Structure 1
Amino acid sequence: MRELKYFQAIHEAQYQMLEADPDVLLLGLGVPGPTGIFGTTTGLQ
C-alpha cells in the first residue's frame, strides 16, 4: 500500500470521482483559488 498525505488522498479521490461521473461538481469557497483548499482542488477541472 502506498502512503499519501491526507490532502493528497482527498485530491486523488476528487479527481477519480470527476473522471468517473460528469455530473460531479465541486462547490465552495476557495475551490478555484490559487491554493485550492490546502492543495486538495489544485489542478482539478
Structure 2
Amino acid sequence: MLPALQASIEHSKGLLPALVHTAENNVLHDKGEAYAKKLNEVAE
C-alpha cells in the first residue's frame, strides 16, 4: 500500500471528494495541508 502523500497523481485519480481539516498546533498540520494540496491538484 502506498502512503497517500507519496502516491503519484495518476494513482490518486478517482478518489472521492474529501474535506481536510487541520489545526494550527497539530503535529500533522503540514502533512494535512500537503495532502489537501495534492487532492486539489488531482481534481484539476
Same fold (TM over 0.5): no
- TM normalised by structure 2 equals 0.35
By relative contact order (CA 8 Å, sep 6+), the higher-ranking structure is 2
TM-score if structure 1 supplies the norm length? 0.35
